[in-house]
Amino acid sequence: GAGVSQSPSNKVTEKGKDVELRCDPISGHTALYWYRQSLGQGLEFLIYFQGNSAPDKSGLPSDRFSAERTGGSVSTLTIQRTQQEDSAVYLCASSLRTGGYNEQFFGPGTRLTVL
Partner 1 sequence: GENVEQHPSTLSVQEGDSAVIKCTYSDSASNYFPWYKQELGKGPQLIIDIRSNVGEKKDQRIAVTLNKTAKHFSLHITETQPEDSAVYFCAAGGPSGGSYIPTFGRGTSLIVHP
Least distance from C-beta 77 to partner 1, angstroms?
A: 15
Which residue ranges make up the site for partner 1 (CB under 8 A)? 4, 31, 33, 35, 40-43, 45, 48, 50, 56, 91, 93, 97, 100-109
Query: Please, are residues 60 and 44 in contact by the beta-carbon 8 Å criterion?
Result: no
Shorter beta-carbon distance to partner 1: residue 85 or 103: 103
Shorter beta-carbon distance to partner 1: residue 46 or 79: 46
Nearest of 46, 94, 88 to residue 67 by alpha carbon: 46
Least distance from C-beta 16 to partner 1, angstroms?
A: 28
Nearest of 43, 13, 45, 41 to residue 31 by alpha carbon: 45
Query: Please, are residues 67 and 34 in contact by the beta-carbon 8 Å criterion?
Result: yes
